[in-house]
Amino acid sequence: MKRIAITTLETYRKYLAGDEWTTQQSVIDALVVPFQGNAYTRIGSAFHAIVEQGESVVEELPEMGKFRVTVDGWPVIFNEEQVAMALKYRAKLPYAFHEEWIGREFDTPSMLIWVHGRVDVLHGIFVRDIKTKYSAVKFADYADSAQWKFYLDLTGLDTFYFDLFEFPNYKIDKHGYDVSSLGIRPYGAIECIRYKGMERDNHQLVCDFTDFVVKNNLTTYLKDRAF
């Protein structure tokens, strides 16, 4: 059985919705080009590592007020306020499970396909996703996203939260992997609730996506589900 990541389905949804930064080529790239990561995503991974593992992943540097967190060989430098923010958030999530894989098969006219994703935080009856942001937050970007709908569908839960943390004035060329000169701004959680017809919407998106894949001869780029 072929498989597809929820993140790729989200790219496809944005393309369908006419997002100005997401073209048909973006969808093809999401399938064909292995995602390498960049400073934006690695800062997010390092922040999440503190939330998941606590102080054990934080290394204090000789320079006053600087802390290093290394994920997959990529060191990210935070300041004390940012580390404290991640630890405070972690403390609010007792008995949480992090980075849990979820998935299930969807039967579409084009193929049977396994849709999968990795939940940032599974906390009791709530699903949470940590997003580090580098520009102003738009509610609609989250409320409209397919990510939370699939996560609720695949976990069988009803409530999803996006927990957003912004690094104001971050510039990738200037700051790179060192955000210690910046502040950190937490937003209130964006709550997303299961609604009537959510599963139908998800199924339709998967059907449209698999149809797109077949029509564009991209089936070969879908990976097989590992058992």
Partner 1 sequence: MPIVRANESFPARPVVMLIYGVPGVGKTSLSVTSENPVLVDCDRGADRAVLRKDTLVCSCWEDIINEKETFKNYKTVIIDTAKACLDDFLADYAVRVDDASKKNKLKMFGYVGDAFKAFVAYLRSINVDLIILAHAAEDKDGDDRIFYPSVTGQSKDLVQRIADQIGFLSYGADNSRVLHFQKNHRIVAKDTARLGDIIIPDANDPAYQTAMANIIAATKTRIQERTNAQNEALGAIKAAEEAIAKVVDGPTADAALVAINACPTADVPALKKKLAGPLKNLGLKMDKASGKFVKAE
Which residue from 52, 76, 77, 53 is spatially nearest to 65, judged by alpha carbons?
77
> Does residue 16 bind partner 1 (CB under 8 A)?
no
Those residues with Cβ within 8 angstroms of residue 148's Cβ, 6 or more apart along the chain or in another chain: 127, 129, 142, 160, 162, 192
Q: Which of residues 126-165 bind partner 1 (CB under 8 A)?
A: 126-127, 136-140, 143, 155-159
Asked if residues 10 and 146 have their Cβ atoms less than 8 Å apart, the reply is yes
- Please, which residues bridge with residue 3 across strands? 114, 223
Q: What DSSP assignment string belongs to 65-83?
A: TEEEEEETTEEEEEEHHHH
Binding mask 105-124 for partner 1 (x = CB under 8 A): -----------------xxx
- Other beta carbons within 10 angstroms of residue 94's beta carbon come to 8
Interface stretch with partner 1, choices 39-47, 73-81, 90-98, 217-225 (CB under 8 A): 90-98
Count of residues engaged in binding partner 1, rule: CB under 8 A: 29
Among 191, 216, 219, 223, binds partner 1 (CB under 8 A): 191
Shortest distance in whole angstroms from residue 177 CB to partner 1: 26
Q: How far is the CB of 210 from partner 1 (least distance, A)?
A: 21
Shortest distance (Å) from residue 187 CB to partner 1: 7
CB count, 10 Å around CB of 84?
14
E strand residue ranges, 108-152: 112-123, 126-133
Please select the residue that binds partner 1; options are 72, 73, 171, 196, rule is CB under 8 A. 196
| 35 near partner 1 (CB under 8 A) | no
**Which residues bind to partner 1, rule: CB under 8 A?**
94-95, 97, 100, 122-127, 136-140, 143, 155-159, 187-188, 190-191, 193, 195-197
